[in-house]
Amino acid sequence: KQEVTQIPAALSVPEGENLVLNCSFTDSAIYNLQWFRQDPGKGLTSLLLIQSSQREQTSGRLNASLDKSSGRSTLYIAASQPGDSATYLCAVTSFKAAGNKLTFGGGTRVLVKP
């Protein structure tokens, strides 16, 4: 059974610092891994999707790496801004998962202080 863990559960940084968010998963037989952003009480916005054959993906200030063999992914957010304050969730799709379901971690709640 796939389990996804995110550490730390919460993170507070001053504006301008780089953010490093960690995600680990127990079964390396994944199809892809995604990072989502969730604002309080809202739905999820997809940030980056990494296929199992890829090592990283970049979009603007965001960079996500994937090490499938060790079951880890890291999301880097450069030069953080107060608008980056949100909960960040990682999710994996396992090969042959029923219904192409996403298995989520518990999220990291980020606060960027001005």
Partner 1 sequence: ETGVTQSPTHLIKTRGQQVTLRCSSQSGHNTVSWYQQALGQGPQFIFQYYREEENGRGNFPPRFSGLQFPNYSSELNVNALELDDSALYLCASSFYDSDTQYFGPGTRLTVL
CA distance 89 to 5: 10
Rule CB under 8 A: which of 25-84 touch partner 1? Answer: 31-32, 36, 41-46, 49, 51
Q: Which of 57, 73, 80, 93 binds partner 1 (CB under 8 A)?
A: 93
Cβ within 8 Å of residue 26, ≥6 positions away: 1, 2, 3, 4, 71
Stretch that binds partner 1, among 14-22, 56-64, 73-81, 85-93 (CB under 8 A): 85-93
* Shortest reach from residue 33's CB to partner 1, in Å: 11
User: What is the distance between the alpha carbons of residues 52 and 62, in angstroms, rounded to a whole number?
Assistant: 18
- Nearest distance in Å: CB 108, partner 1: 10
Q: State yes or no: residue 104 binds partner 1 (CB under 8 A).
A: yes
Q: What would the two tokens of residue 85 be? A: 């304050």
Report the DSSP beta bridge partners of residue 44.
38
Query: Does 112 contact partner 1 by CB under 8 A?
Result: no
Between CA 111 and CA 34 the distance in angstroms is 21
**Interface positions with partner 1 (CB under 8 A):** 4, 6, 31-32, 36, 41-46, 49, 51, 89, 91, 93, 97-107
